[in-house]
């Protein structure tokens, strides 16, 4: 009723004070008008109206009045009720700004914090073509960049991740009378997957974001625009980030699926929670009355009018939008799992269907069929002490690195490249090196599509691999991050795009052409060189010198020397800029000839999985003899004890990154007894294993 009364003010003449306040000095330029309210505990995202391309005295005054009136829309009233604000104590001011010609350029949002994990050492930049309303409203999936603050300050160019959005439309000025001041038009297909701004512009926006954050002394949410006529960048709004900045970092809350279900659809995850309930597909706000508490809201995209039902949802799924759209911002604030940018969620999911919305696995969120079981672990980090034995982590998925960096740790003992190569790249490196030799039209077309943004096909491999590694290295900086070189077997490499043309068939790939033996082989050497260039880029272009390198499955000392020689030719000289090179200890020869291996490497990391396989003569992929496979077998433990002793006698570092200490806490205690330097664990076993290590250290009076 209050809103209806306010709308009736429309025909009334403006009072002289309002007219005098608004009009002088703005007659001669187009104006963007937005209600900007800032409070440390609430975002007020989209609560007040914004008007673009307003021209002329009458339209300007009309837009101002609508801004004032928007204090009492249903959505604004509901929001203030939830947050406990007195409706008549909230003030509103209107900013009248000259329009940046982003309609001919680009616009976007910058956060000086990772919006999902709360990691504070990155800047997130989103960009689209045209005016910025589409990014806020979630009508366009934007380009996404992450920039690492620490080495940016040092003069490096650390864009540690970049992903193009599917920018199908853009908002421009409308010149049609009676049709409103703006309109959306299609983006030409050739431009949709291209980045809206350059890398240099991304770095400039990141630097500006850091300066604004420094000024306000808190993480910030910043809107910017690029003038398509002058090419200049402008900051048009800045306000405090209101969700992650206020999170209690002393309490670690982890959501984990206990079982897996059938994946129905996926998109970009918002937050790290899991929710389940019945689907309610609602096309527009006229249908929100049908929504019931604890249902899963599925729609094209939300705007502030949806907020009364968003707060009672078990989960939210949208067709469009990125991490900075309305649905993402509000879901984050409400603590509700949300998946945006699914493209066809409203078609795939059906009203009444039971589903689970999973945002616990990093960047990608998944909707599973049915109610899938999950658990929530909460740990008070204030009460958890760090042992003298270093507790490191095994990380495979770069998307989870920032979130997992909050778990108490001493760095990364094993960063796997395999996930990056299979999930980020998806192409066999030799198919890029020898692209002209690929005759299959379908394979060629898929490779062309993946590499369209790169001048050379091989650059795609180098840059994508570098970004994946950099995300992990940045998340744990300045702690050591030990990156294991690729260790795919032939059957695994063959599954990559174009892989079947370059991989032989082996009867037992587990002990075949893998690890170090590939790197110096002339058939694979060009692919290994790409890997080296990626690591060089991480250290020298991005400044992440906390990256160390580890050589897997190195059967002989001679193999090790050959690999080190190739690495040096590619710019990765052991010792340069503090570069340490380790070797996996996973073959009996590594233990027997430990003294010789220590002469050329900086240390060992015990790979208990393969070491157990080769000590006991058990194929670890075979179900028939699986009952024999046991890392706690005396023969295995004797070799582990022997190599730890050799490392200590030679003053070399030694750790373990195999599965054994993650699976068996008593094995971790055995390692402490032996005097191991570090134990690297999967994330969900870090806390419980740390407790066991502390118990053993107290017993040994370490």
User: pLDDT for 527-552, tens place per residue?
Assistant: 999 999 999 999 999 999 999 999 99
**For position 363, what pLDDT does the model report?**
80
- Statement: residue 397 has pLDDT above 80: yes
SS3 483: strand
The tokens for 37 are 């309210």
Beta-strand (E) ranges in 489-580?
547-551
Q: How confident is the model at residue 380 (pLDDT cuts 50, 70, 90)?
A: confident
Helices within 362-438 (DSSP H only):
401-404, 418-419, 429-433
Q: Average of pLDDT values for 581-591?
A: 97
Q: 171 Cβ partners below 8 Å, 6+ apart?
A: 52, 103, 130, 131, 132, 133, 134, 182, 183, 184
**For position 156, what pLDDT does the model report?**
98
326 flagged as catalytic? yes
Q: Average of pLDDT values for 460-470?
A: 98
- Statement: residue 27 has pLDDT above 50: no
Query: Is the distance from CB of 320 to CB of 303 less than 8 angstroms?
Result: no
**Architecture of the structural domain at 251-378:** 3-Layer(bba) Sandwich (3.50)
pLDDT over 90 for what percent of the chain? 66
Q: Average of pLDDT values for 237-254?
A: 81
**For position 10, what pLDDT does the model report?**
40
Nearest to 486 by CA among 565, 544, 430: 430
Q: Average of pLDDT values for 468-496?
A: 97
Q: How confident is the model at residue 41 (pLDDT cuts 50, 70, 90)?
A: low
- Statement: residue 30 has pLDDT above 50: no
**For position 42, what pLDDT does the model report?**
54
Side-chain-side CA neighbours of 348 within 13 Å: the count stands at: 17
**For position 45, what pLDDT does the model report?**
60
Q: What is the DSSP letter of 290?
A: G
**Architecture of the structural domain at 102-246:** 2-Layer Sandwich (3.30)
Tens digit of pLDDT for each residue in 183-198?
999 999 989 989 999 9
Domain extents for the chain?
Answer: 2-98, 102-246, 251-378, 417-579, 584-702
Nearest to 360 by CA among 95, 562, 117, 10: 117
Q: Average of pLDDT values for 326-352?
A: 91
Q: Out of 255-264, 322-331, 586-595, 598-607, which region has the weakest mean confidence (pLDDT)?
A: 322-331
Q: Which listed residue (325, 326, 532, 554) is catalytic?
A: 326
Q: How confident is the model at residue 2 (pLDDT cuts 50, 70, 90)?
A: very low
CATH of domain 584-702: 3.20.20.60
**For position 36, what pLDDT does the model report?**
37
Backbone φ, ψ for residue 111 (5° rounding): -110, 135
Q: Out of 5-14, 376-385, 537-546, 619-628, which region has the weakest mean confidence (pLDDT)?
A: 5-14
Segment (H or E) for 144 = strand 143-148
Side-chain-side CA neighbours of 256 within 13 Å: the count stands at: 12
CATH of domain 417-579: 3.20.20.60
Cα–Cα distance for residue pair 258/587, rounded to 1 Å: 34
Q: Average of pLDDT values for 163-178?
A: 87
* List of long-range contacts for 580-583, beta carbons under 8 Å, 24+ apart: 580/548, 580/549, 581/548, 581/549, 581/550, 581/551, 582/482, 582/548, 582/549, 582/550, 582/551, 582/653, 583/550, 583/551, 583/554
Query: Is the distance from CB of 413 to CB of 436 less than 8 angstroms?
Result: no
Q: Which listed residue (64, 359, 657, 674) is catalytic?
A: 657
Q: How confident is the model at residue 425 (pLDDT cuts 50, 70, 90)?
A: very high
Q: 495 Cβ partners below 8 Å, 6+ apart?
A: 422
- Statement: residue 15 has pLDDT above 80: no
Query: Is the distance from CB of 212 to CB of 222 less than 8 angstroms?
Result: yes
pLDDT over 70 for what percent of the chain? 93
Q: Tell me which of 628 and 150 has the higher pLDDT.
A: 150
Nearest to 170 by CA among 133, 213, 218: 133
- Statement: residue 153 has pLDDT above 60: yes
- Statement: residue 26 has pLDDT above 60: no
- Statement: residue 329 has pLDDT above 50: yes
Cα–Cα distance for residue pair 530/518, rounded to 1 Å: 13
Tokens 């808190």 belong to: 218
Mean pLDDT (the chain, rounded): 89
Query: Is the distance from CB of 362 to CB of 399 less than 8 angstroms?
Result: yes
Q: Average of pLDDT values for 60-88?
A: 84
- Statement: residue 21 has pLDDT above 70: no
* CATH topology identical between 2-98 and 102-246: no
At the fourth CATH level, which superfamily is domain 2-98?
ATP-grasp fold, A domain (3.30.1490.20)
**For position 303, what pLDDT does the model report?**
83
Alpha-carbon torsion angle 81, 83, 89, 95, nearest 10? -110
């Amino acid at each position: 009723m209050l809103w209806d009364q306010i709308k009736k003010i429309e025909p009334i003449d403006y009072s002289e004070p309002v007219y005098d306040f608004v009009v002088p000095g703005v007659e001669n330029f187009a104006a963007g008008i937005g209600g900007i309210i800032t409070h440390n505990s609430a975002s007020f995202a989209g609560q007040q109206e914004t008007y673009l391309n307003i021209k002329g005295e009458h339209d300007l005054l009309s837009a101002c009045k609508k801004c004032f009136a928007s204090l009492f829309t249903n959505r604004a009233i509901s929001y203030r009720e939830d947050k406990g604000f007195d409706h008549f104590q909230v003030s509103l001011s209107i900013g009248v700004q000259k329009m940046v010609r982003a309609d001919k350029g680009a616009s976007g949002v910058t956060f000086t914090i990772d919006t999902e994990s709360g990691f504070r050492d990155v800047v997130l930049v989103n960009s689209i073509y045209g005016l910025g309303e589409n990014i806020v409203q979630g009508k366009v999936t934007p380009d996404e960049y992450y920039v690492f603050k620490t080495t940016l300050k040092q003069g490096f160019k650390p864009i540690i991740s970049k992903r193009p959005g599917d920018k199908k439309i853009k908002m421009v000025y409308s010149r049609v009378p009676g049709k409103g001041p703006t309109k959306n038009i299609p983006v030409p297909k050739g431009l949709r997957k291209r980045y809206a701004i350059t890398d240099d512009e991304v770095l400039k926006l990141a630097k500006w974001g850091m300066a604004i954050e420094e000024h306000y002394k808190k993480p910030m949410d910043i809107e910017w625009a690029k003038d398509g006529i002058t090419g200049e960048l402008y900051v048009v709004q800045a306000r405090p980030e209101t969700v992650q900045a206020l999170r209690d970092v002393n309490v670690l809350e982890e959501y984990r699926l206990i079982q897996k279900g059938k994946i129905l659809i996926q998109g970009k995850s918002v937050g790290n929670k899991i929710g389940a309930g019945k689907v309610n597909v609602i096309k527009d706000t006229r249908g929100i009355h049908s929504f019931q508490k604890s249902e899963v809201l599925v729609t094209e995209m939300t705007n502030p009018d949806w907020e009364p039902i968003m707060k009672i949802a078990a989960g939210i799924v949208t067709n469009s939008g990125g991490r900075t759209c309305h649905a993402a911002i509000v879901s984050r604030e409400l603590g509700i799992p949300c998946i945006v940018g699914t493209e066809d969620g409203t078609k795939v999911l059906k009203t009444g269907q039971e589903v689970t919305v999973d945002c616990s696995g990093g960047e990608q969120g998944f909707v599973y069929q049915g109610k899938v079981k999950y658990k929530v672990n909460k740990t008070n980090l204030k009460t958890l002490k760090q042992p003298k034995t270093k507790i490191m982590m095994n990380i495979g998925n770069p998307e989870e690195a920032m979130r997992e960096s909050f778990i108490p740790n001493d760095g990364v003992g094993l960063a796997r490249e395999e996930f990056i190569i299979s999930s980020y790249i998806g192409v066999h490196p030799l198919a890029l090196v020898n692209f002209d030799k690929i005759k299959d039209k379908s394979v060629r077309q898929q490779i062309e599509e993946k590499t369209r943004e790169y001048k050379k096909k091989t650059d795609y491999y180098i840059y994508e691999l570098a970004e994946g590694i950099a995300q992990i290295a940045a998340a744990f900086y300045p702690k050591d991050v030990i990156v294991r070189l690729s260790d795919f077997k032939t059957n695994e490499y063959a599954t990559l795009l174009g892989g079947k043309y370059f991989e032989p068939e082996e009867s037992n790939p587990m002990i075949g052409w893998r690890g170090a033996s590939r790197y110096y082989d002339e058939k694979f050497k060009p692919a290994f060189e790409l890997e080296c260039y990626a690591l060089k880029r991480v250290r020298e272009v991005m400044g992440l010198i906390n990256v160390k390198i580890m050589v897997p499955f190195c059967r002989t000392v001679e193999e090790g020397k050959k690999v080190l020689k190739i690495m040096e030719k590619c710019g990765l000289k052991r010792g340069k800029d503090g570069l340490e090179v380790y070797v996996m200890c996973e073959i009996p020869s590594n233990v027997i000839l430990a003294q010789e291996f220590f002469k050329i490497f900086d240390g060992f990391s015990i790979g208990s999985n393969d070491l157990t396989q080769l000590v006991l003569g058990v194929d670890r992929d075979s179900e028939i003899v699986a009952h024999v496979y046991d890392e706690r077998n005396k023969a295995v433990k004797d070799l582990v004890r022997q190599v730890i002793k050799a490392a200590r006698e030679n003053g070399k570092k030694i750790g373990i990154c195999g599965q054994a200490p993650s699976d068996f806490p008593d094995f971790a205690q055995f390692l402490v007894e032996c005097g191991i330097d570090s134990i690297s664990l999967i994330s969900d076993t870090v806390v419980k294993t740390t407790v066991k290590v502390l118990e053993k250290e107290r017993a040994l009076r370490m």
